[in-house]
Structure 1
Amino acid sequence: MQIYAATNAAMGPAAGRPRAAASKGGESLLLTESARSLGGAPSLFEALSQGERATVLKHGRRKVFYRGQTLFNQGTKHDGIYLIETGRIRVFYTAPSGREITLAYWHPGNFVGGPEVFGAGVHQWSGVATSNSSVVQLPGKELRSLVVEVPNLAIGLIEGLTFKGKCYSALAQMLGTRSITERLAHLLLHLTELYGVDDPEGILIGAAFTHADLAHMVGATRQWVTISLKRLQEKGIVASRKSQIIVRRPDLLQGMKGLGD
């Protein structure tokens, strides 16, 4: 089963109106106690003037990655960063057992490929396009020269790496202190904040995530997520309509955030 991907224009006026602009530039999606406490992800593009942006892009290599294509693999050598222009990039860690945990989904304005942005060492995780995406790759050697020439780029990189550090710290705290049930409740509520669309039955989550995607975000198996969503539907907390998931009782999800498994 897949959470339905839609925009208000695609769904038509009868389907409801967006509660917030989905996938805004600088947004990110990750498991956290409170997305608001982290603040918005800084946009590297917005930190630059038009002239500075032109200088940076001149040294970059624009690439298109289709859905499912890999930008970089865990364990391979670093080669700079990727500025996201369009699309959505998932970064994830793969354990020796083969099990995956999603670190975050990054949107336009963000960059991926850190933390060693200048090209030393190897990648600690992998990055893959979850929708057709356009990125600008800045190789480490060129990036090192650019931060001297464009101080605003250096500031943007520092702010971006600081935000990523906060995100991954929040993820570690959630995985270490919250049950899987609590984590799923947090995630569904966060999805309604980012992608929620008003619907006669509640709040439609207007973004495409499979049960396996949700499992990778909360640290569970796909089967556990499928069973848990079925139980939530039986309790009237969520509703499934074809390939859509609608949150009917966000107040009850809020109550579940304090429950164990």
Structure 2
Amino acid sequence: MSESIEGLNVGAHFLDRLAPREREQLLASGRTLLARQNEMVFSQGDPHDGIFIITRGQVRVYYTAPSGREITLAYWTPGHFIGGPEISGGGTHMWSGIAIDDCEFVALSGATLQRVLREIPAFALALIDGLVAKGKCYSSMAQMLGTRSVIERLAQYLLNLAELEGIAEGDTVLLGRKTTHDQIAAMVGSTRQWVTMMLKRFQAKRIIAIEGGAIRILRIDQLEAILFRD
């Protein structure tokens, strides 16, 4: 969740600081792990030990409140690392990560991370780059939650998806990713019932159409008007 898609994927390039030999050494230091679609990568409250570098697939990271409600923090793609913030291990995971599709990771334990940081000084700077990108991502999300209404967040989410993954067809945009109302609710910080009601309202106003579970945006300008109204 962000007010624009600019810089959203910067963290996927955090290893670009490394020379090819250093990158190869780093990845060889970890363990290759696989996770099937809908399999947990790590769970909130579990003991924490190191990070996972995504080499294939996509992971949804989310927080579960005591009430049971979830809020999605981000969808991380290949090149990003997950498993923070205590990258060197210790404590427990503050949130959960679930594989959206079949995933592959290079897992670096806390002890391995500390050793590699001593052996490859450039990796320390790369890791800082990755943490900075994550900090900006979560700060943008906090800003959206604190300053935008729920309907504005929904409009922004649809616009971001349209720009990131949308398929332009004439004057309309088909969103490539099929998302459930529960998933949208977790992203915008609302309930499934509210999302269902609002999407029906958008359909009635001919702002969107639902086609086989996918959303087609009919009036981009109307979504933008929600964000920039006085």
Interval containing the TM-score (normalised by the shorter chain): over 0.9
Residue matched to 2:79: 109
Runs of 4 or more, structure 1, over 4 Å off, are: none
Where structure 1 has 5 or more consecutive residues not aligned to the other structure, the ranges are: 1-30
Query: For residues 58 and 113 of structure 1, do their structure 2 counterparts lie closer, same or farther at Cα, with a shift above 3 Å needed?
Result: same
Instruction: Identify the match of residue 216 of structure 1 among 169, 176, 186.
Output: 186
**How far apart, CA to CA, are the structure 2 residues paired with 1:163 and 1:57?**
21
Answer yes or no: is the 8 Å Cα contact 2:5–2:164 preserved in 1: no
- Structure-2-length-normalised TM-score: 0.95
Q: Secondary structure at the match of 1:209?
A: coil
Quote the residue 1:71 is aligned against.
Answer: 41
Per-residue CA shift, 1:25-49, capped at 9, x if unaligned? Answer: xxxxxx1122326673342343322
Tell me, which stretches of 5 or more residues in structure 2 are unaligned?
none
| 1:187 maps onto 2:157 in alignment | yes
Match of residue 56 from structure 1: 26
User: Following TM superposition, by how much is the alpha carbon of 1:97 offset from its aligned partner in structure 2, in angstroms?
Assistant: 0.6
Question: Is residue 248 from structure 1 mapped to residue 224 from structure 2 by the alignment?
Answer: no
CA distance in structure 2 between the partners assigned to 1:82 and 1:94 by the alignment: 21
Which deviates more, 64-73 or 201-210? 201-210
Tell me the matched-pair count: 230
Aligned to 1:100: 70
Alpha-carbon distance between aligned partners in 1 of 2:14 and 2:81, rounded to the nearest angstrom: 7
- Structure holding more helix per residue: 2
Residues 37 and 112 of structure 1: is their aligned pair in 2 closer, same or farther, counting only changes over 3 Å? Answer: closer
What is the SS of the residue equivalent to 2:127?
Answer: helix
Distance change >3 Å, CA 231–CA 177, structure 1 → 2: same
Sequence identity percentage? 47
Structure 2 CA distance for aligned equivalents of residues 247 and 51 of structure 1 = 46
Q: Provide the secondary structure at the position in 2 that maps to 1:108.
A: coil
The answer to whether 1:233 aligns with 2:203 is yes
Q: 1:176: which partner in 2?
A: 146
CA RMSD of aligned residues (A): 1.6
Deviations 1:1-25 (A, max 9, x none): xxxxxxxxxxxxxxxxxxxxxxxxx
- With over 3 angstroms needed to count, the CA separation of the structure-2 counterparts of 1:208 and 1:150, relative to structure 1, is farther
Matched ranges for 1:157-168 at <5 A: 157-168=127-138
Who is 2:110 aligned against?
Answer: 140
Matched, 1:85 2:85: no
Q: Distance in 2 between matches of 1:214 and 1:86?
A: 23
Q: Partner residue of 1:150?
A: 120
